[in-house]
Amino acid sequence: MPSPNEKLAESLDELKVLQQANRRVFRSDDLSRVHRERLVENGFLQEVMKGWLISSSPDSQAGESTPWHASFWEFCARYCDERFGEQWHLSPEQSLFLHGERTVIPDQLVVHSPKATNNDIQLLFGTTLYDLKVAEIPATTALLVKDGLRLFTPAAALVRVPESFFQLYPIESQVVMASLGDVSDVLRLLLNGGHSAKAGYLAKAFRQTGRGDLADEILRAMKGAGYDVRESSPFEAGHIFKRPPRPTAPIVARVEMLWESMRGPVLATFPKPPGLPADNEAYLRYVGEIYRTDAYHSLSIEGYTVTPALVERVRQGGWDPEHDAGDRGDTGKRSSW
């Protein structure tokens, strides 16, 4: 008869297959009941809601939210695909957040679908998913799929969000604007909808961020079509940041704009540098002591991945999640150190 360690190793082999391609979210029926219950009991899986599970870490502390936050967007994408097929999308505001590399987990994610039932679904750690029933899905040219999530394109999101979005989230707005090589898609949407007011503040926004050529193009096209367009700034004073010299990856623009927006306040409150330590050996010991903790938290964000080495250690009875702290680096690791 197989030992408990051998049984757990068999279940881990099943989980390892599912975790290929860095997958973290699973349906309950992806595993047999025996394997599923064994992996949940040993902390390798965590239930999100009935029928849905995520990868977790056996050595996670009670109430630790890292596995859920690391799996949140994948869960939402897989759950919505399972329930709505291709008939769903996120809001223009959430689309702009994600295009602008603002990946903060919202307390409530609103999903639009003709198949929705206006129901608020309770998830882990106070998060919810609200399925909002809409009459129809936007044209396919207005949507795209990014990391499994169905979003409005950057151009469609810029046109669809209200002007107040630019005031409340100037960095995200300007990050997305900086990623555009031209305004052809924006212009098509403005002309098709007759959005003269939107054209006015988008033209001004491009002009204020150093892209006067795009602003002039918007004005010429709209006025040529017979629309009266008047420029007006959607940004508050002091909320306009330097644009990268050319269209660039949103994550690069976001880092540069965050640095520009926060550098002054940080310098004003940052303590003076302490200088070189008086006791070099004591300082190096301190660094060594905190390295393992810092590495663990960094790797936990990437998710707990089952490796062949871990399966073999479990099979041989040489693994203890409560004491084998070294496994944190082995099993969670996806990037090189």
Amino acid at 63: G
- 129 in helix, strand or coil? strand
**How much is the average pLDDT of 24-53?**
93
| pLDDT, tens digit, 9 for 90 and up, residues 11-21 | 999 999 998 87
The residue from 265, 285, 319 where one domain ends is 265
Is there a domain that residue 319 lies in? no
The pLDDT value recorded for residue 314 is: 61
Q: Which domain holds residue 42?
A: 1-64
Residue 194's pLDDT band, with cuts at 50, 70 and 90, is very high
Here the tokens at position 233 are 């700034």
| CA distances from residue 255 to 139, 154, 259, 263 in whole angstroms, order as listed | 32, 19, 6, 11
The pLDDT value recorded for residue 274 is: 84
Is there a domain that residue 70 lies in? no
Is there a domain that residue 228 lies in? yes
Residue 189's pLDDT band, with cuts at 50, 70 and 90, is very high
Is there a domain that residue 72 lies in? no
Could you tell me if 261 and 165 lie in one domain?
Answer: yes
Could you tell me if 243 and 175 lie in one domain?
Answer: yes
| pLDDT, tens digit, 9 for 90 and up, residues 245-301 | 677 788 888 998 998 888 888 888 988 888 888 899 999 988 888 877 776 666 555
Could you tell me if 7 and 46 lie in one domain?
Answer: yes
| CA distances from residue 262 to 174, 235, 249 in whole angstroms, order as listed | 16, 17, 20
Please tell me the number of Cα atoms within 13 Å of 91 on its side-chain side.
16
Q: Is the pTM of this model over 0.75?
A: yes
